[in-house]
Amino acid sequence: NLYNQYKSYRPTRLSPNNEQAELLLNVDQTTFAAHELKLYLDVYPNDTNMINLYNEYQKIASEQIKAYERKYGPLLADSPSANNSFSWEAYSWPWETEEM
């Protein structure tokens, strides 16, 4: 309960329009959480609970990225190519599709 509401402000709840947007949102949320845990671990490197949680989020993020890439192509520039060619730039960018 660290959040103090400002007047009548309510945080926006993100709701994806399609499966691709949902997979990308899941990747974004999980990688964000892992990154925040990494920053915490920079300050408290011996916190074993947070190390375990960070490893768990990293594993989940990796699985989510692989699931996205299986359906929609590479998400990262260093993602492995399925046809042994550099095709990262051949796919449409997530913001170029109208469904998102």
User: 6-58: per-residue pLDDT in tens?
Assistant: 778 877 888 999 999 999 999 999 999 999 999 999 999 999 999 999 999 99
Rounding to the nearest 10 degrees, give the CA dihedral for residues 65, 67, 71, 72.
Answer: -10
Task: Answer yes or no: are the C-beta atoms of 68 and 75 closer than 8 Å.
Answer: yes
Q: Are 94 and 88 in contact (CB under 8 A)?
A: no
Q: Spell out the residues 6+ positions from residue 30 whose beta carbon is closer than 8 angstroms to its own.
A: 57, 60, 61, 64
State the pLDDT at residue 100: 47
State the amino acid at position 10 in one-letter form: R
pLDDT at position 43 is: 95
